């Protein structure tokens, strides 16, 4: 055994040294501000893009030196992980800004009483009844029934109705205690300018089946424990990447995760299962890679039921299914197992949510989701975001152009055109899948193209680019994947630069949209080329073997 250890250490000593040195640097780094962490993210993303180019050159000129490149990548990643939590243990162990945690803990725990529209009225009424008021200066709030900003008197009336008709005395007392716990930690500025005018709680009842159950069994004073469920899931996700694609691909994935602006909020460990859909989506690809289609179906179904929009990634699998059935004149066993896994999870989650919350909650969830998708803000990313951008870099410039409201109306007006473009993109995905005969784990990520065209979600959901990072990282022998990985990292460098120079958040997210538009155009060219060529690339090999 000792001989084996010595042999392993002899092969991997550069990585061991890099890891130890990087860990020592992280341990010595003083805690930094959020703004300083953006500077380091910019530097690390740029270093990652350079590392792609160096790796390509070394692989051609001196393959034996690749271990030194990987050691450097490991050091960058370790430092990036420390910077992600601002070299501050309290950022890792605390819940930071309590806004998101408040929405997800309270509304999921009391969904039966609050539904999707009652959180603000109930919290404001509970605060008013409390002997120590925390929000006496709140004059307006957003009525989640129609998204209009209204006087707080309307909230009081709605809150009294909820208390009288939907809460038992015991549940109201419990809600009041829980609400007060969060209100004591919510700053007056945040409460006045952000908390009560946000769009509130939006996940479907199937998410609440999981998140609400965690909240129900966890006393509010221990909420930080359930915020760490995400940390565990993300760790398992990257363990799955190592299992399916190898260590180097995992390092590219972790690097992206800790430098992307999509991961700036919420910070991992400061929200309640905000990243479980991402973990399951990535694990679905990993299970397909390892030929475990039943588990892959279960993971993808969970992601889709958890956040709805990941359902679009079923499209790539479906096109593969149709092509395989056409060629073989039967449904291959792998697809049957995938359907079985997805079916079991769907029955459990849909059945459980229906039993706990009833069909009426699904109806109000659908209405809430439709209203939410019609809105637009400075946090959105997508093709529509690019179209309405006018080069603004400051809030003053945005207001001079009419503010966000005219942009929202314009995006609403072109929803039909965006959907047409998205359907064309979906058709191109189908053509690529059929013509290239790529395995499912090589096609799932292609659905990012119609997703980008048809929707304008919040930037944090574009963590899903991790699928693209893993795809490119697994094929760094090919030039198009080298360019793709370098571009995605370089884009994050530019995006973080907009924060360093203190441009408006709207400019930061729109820079992401513009960079992704260029990426998507390149993806279209690649898909057309591969469809015309009609050959599948070698998809079963990982760069780690290079």
pLDDT tens by residue, 286-306: 999 999 999 999 999 999 999
Distance CA 340, CA 324 (A): 17
Interacting residues of 497 by C-beta distance below 8 A, sequence separation 6+: 42
Instruction: Supply the DSSP symbol for 53.
Output: H
Position 154 in a domain: no
- Cα–Cα distances in Å, from 468 out to 52, 230, 266, 482? 15, 21, 21, 12
Strand partners for 148: 143
Position 124 in a domain: no
Distance CA 121, CA 110 (A): 13
- Cα–Cα distances in Å, from 344 out to 265, 315, 348? 32, 19, 6
76 and 205 belong to one structural domain:
no
Interacting residues of 413 by C-beta distance below 8 A, sequence separation 6+: none
Structure tokens at 420: 């047409």
Position 123 in a domain: no
Distance CA 366, CA 308 (A): 11
Distance CA 253, CA 257 (A): 6
Instruction: Supply the DSSP symbol for 264.
Output: S
If phi over 0 gives left and psi between -120 and 50 gives alpha, with beta otherwise, what is residue 266? beta
B/e letters for 295-308, b = 16+ CB within 10 Å, e = fewer, are bbbbbbbbbbbbbb
Query: Could you tell me which of 488, 495, 457 has the C-alpha nearest to residue 472?
Result: 488
Distance CA 389, CA 67 (A): 44
Distance CA 358, CA 82 (A): 44
Instruction: Supply the DSSP symbol for 130.
Output: S
Helices in 110-202 by DSSP H: which ranges? 111-114, 119-129, 152-165, 169-183, 188-193
477 and 351 belong to one structural domain:
yes
Q: How many CB atoms sit inside 10 A of residue 61's CB?
A: 8
Strand partners for 143: 148
472 and 385 belong to one structural domain:
yes
- For 439, half-sphere exposure in the C-beta direction (CA atoms, 13 angstrom radius) is 17
Distance CA 469, CA 285 (A): 13
Least confident window among 186-190, 374-378, 408-412: 186-190
Q: Is 164 helix (H, G, I), strand (E, B) or coil?
A: helix
546 pLDDT band, cuts 50/70/90, is: very low
Position 146 in a domain: no
Distance CA 206, CA 302 (A): 9
For residue 69, what are the domain limits?
Answer: 1-93
Distance CA 71, CA 335 (A): 39
544 pLDDT band, cuts 50/70/90, is: very low
Instruction: Supply the pLDDT for residue 2.
Output: 74
- Cα–Cα distances in Å, from 238 out to 200, 234, 255, 282, 297? 30, 6, 11, 9, 19
77 and 103 belong to one structural domain:
no
Least confident window among 23-32, 116-125, 187-196, 229-238: 187-196
53 and 106 belong to one structural domain:
no
69 and 218 belong to one structural domain:
no
Interacting residues of 226 by C-beta distance below 8 A, sequence separation 6+: 105, 214, 215, 218, 272, 273
Q: pLDDT tens-digit profile of 448-495?
A: 999 999 999 999 999 999 999 999 999 999 999 999 999 999 999 999
Q: What is the mean pLDDT of residues 390-413?
A: 95
Distance CA 325, CA 81 (A): 45
Instruction: Report how many domains make up the chain.
Output: 2
Position 226 in a domain: yes
Last residue of a domain, one of 78, 93, 108: 93
111 and 4 belong to one structural domain:
no
Distance CA 339, CA 333 (A): 10
Q: Is 148 helix (H, G, I), strand (E, B) or coil?
A: strand
Strand partners for 151: 140
Position 305 in a domain: yes
Last residue of a domain, one of 60, 93, 126: 93
75 and 109 belong to one structural domain:
no
Mean pLDDT of the chain: 94
Instruction: Supply the DSSP symbol for 544.
Output: G
384 and 469 belong to one structural domain:
yes
Answer yes or no: are the C-beta atoms of 328 and 336 closer than 8 Å: no
Answer yes or no: are the C-beta atoms of 505 and 485 closer than 8 Å: no
535 pLDDT band, cuts 50/70/90, is: low
Q: pLDDT tens-digit profile of 74-128?
A: 999 999 999 999 999 999 988 888 999 999 999 999 999 999 999 999 999 999 9
Position 291 in a domain: yes
528 pLDDT band, cuts 50/70/90, is: very high
pLDDT tops 70 at residue 545: no
Q: What is the pTM of this model?
A: 0.95
Answer yes or no: are the C-beta atoms of 263 and 460 closer than 8 Å: yes
Instruction: Supply the pLDDT for residue 540.
Output: 42
23 and 106 belong to one structural domain:
no
Position 487 in a domain: yes
pLDDT tops 50 at residue 135: yes
Query: Could you tell me which of 207, 183, 222, 356 has the C-alpha nearest to residue 274?
Result: 207
483 and 358 belong to one structural domain:
yes
Chain mean position to CA 494: 20
Cis peptide before 203 (omega within 30 of 0): no
382 and 339 belong to one structural domain:
yes
Answer yes or no: are the C-beta atoms of 312 and 455 closer than 8 Å: no
Strand partners for 60: none
Distance CA 493, CA 418 (A): 28
């Amino acid at each position: 055994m000792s001989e084996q250890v010595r042999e392993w250490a002899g092969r991997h000593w550069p990585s061991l040294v890099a890891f130890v040195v990087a860990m020592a640097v992280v341990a010595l780094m003083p805690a930094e501000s959020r703004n300083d962490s953006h500077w380091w993210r910019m530097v690390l993303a740029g270093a990652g893009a350079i590392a792609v180019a160096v790796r390509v050159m070394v692989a051609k000129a001196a393959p034996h030196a690749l271990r030194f490149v990987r050691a450097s990548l490991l050091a960058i990643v370790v430092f990036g992980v420390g910077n992600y939590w601002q070299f501050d243990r309290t950022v890792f162990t605390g819940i930071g800004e309590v806004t998101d945690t408040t929405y997800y803990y309270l509304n999921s725990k009391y969904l039966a009483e609050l539904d999707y529209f009652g959180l603000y009225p109930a919290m404001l009424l509970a605060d008013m009844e409390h002997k120590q008021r925390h929000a006496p200066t709140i004059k307006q709030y957003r009525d989640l029934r129609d998204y209009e900003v209204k006087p707080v008197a309307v909230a009081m009336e709605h809150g009294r109705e909820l208390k009288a008709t939907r809460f038992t005395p015991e549940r109201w007392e419990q809600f009041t205690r829980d609400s007060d716990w969060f209100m004591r930690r919510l700053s007056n500025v945040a409460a006045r300018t952000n908390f009560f005018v946000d769009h509130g709680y939006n996940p479907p009842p199937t998410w609440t089946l999981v998140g609400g159950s965690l909240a129900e069994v966890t006393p509010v004073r221990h909420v930080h424990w359930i915020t760490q469920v995400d940390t565990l899931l993300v760790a398992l996700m990257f363990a799955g990447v190592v299992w399916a694609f190898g260590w180097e691909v995992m390092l590219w994935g972790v690097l992206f995760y800790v430098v992307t602006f999509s991961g700036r909020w919420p910070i991992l460990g400061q929200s309640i299962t905000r990243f479980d859909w991402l973990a399951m989506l990535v694990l679905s690809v990993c299970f397909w890679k390892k030929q475990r289609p039943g588990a892959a179906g279960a993971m993808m179904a969970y992601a889709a039921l958890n956040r709805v929009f990941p359902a679009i990634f079923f499209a790539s699998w479906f096109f593969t299914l149709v092509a395989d059935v056409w060629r073989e004149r039967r449904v291959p066993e792998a697809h049957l197992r995938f359907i079985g896994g997805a079916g079991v999870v769907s029955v459990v989650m849909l059945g459980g949510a229906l039993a706990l919350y009833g069909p009426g909650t699904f109806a109000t969830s659908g209405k809430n989701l439709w209203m939410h998708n019609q809105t637009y803000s400075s946090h959105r990313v997508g093709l529509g975001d690019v179209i309405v951008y006018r080069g603004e870099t400051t809030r003053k410039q945005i207001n001079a152009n009419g503010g966000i409201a005219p942009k929202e109306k314009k995006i609403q007006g072109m929803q039909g055109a965006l959907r047409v473009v998205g359907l064309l993109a979906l058709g191109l995905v189908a053509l690529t899948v059929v013509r290239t005969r790529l395995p499912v784990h090589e096609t799932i990520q292609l659905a990012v193209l119609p997703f980008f065209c048809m929707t304008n979600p919040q930037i944090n959901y574009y963590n899903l680019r991790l699928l693209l990072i893993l795809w490119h990282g697994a094929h760094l022998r090919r030039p198009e994947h080298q360019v793709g990985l370098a571009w995605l990292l370089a884009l994050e460098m530019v995006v973080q630069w907009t924060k360093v120079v203190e441009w408006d958040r709207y400019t930061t997210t729109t820079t992401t949209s513009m960079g992704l538009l260029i990426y998507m155009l390149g993806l279209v060219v690649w898909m057309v080329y591969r469809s015309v060529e009609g050959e599948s690339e070698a998809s079963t090999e990982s760069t780690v073997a290079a």
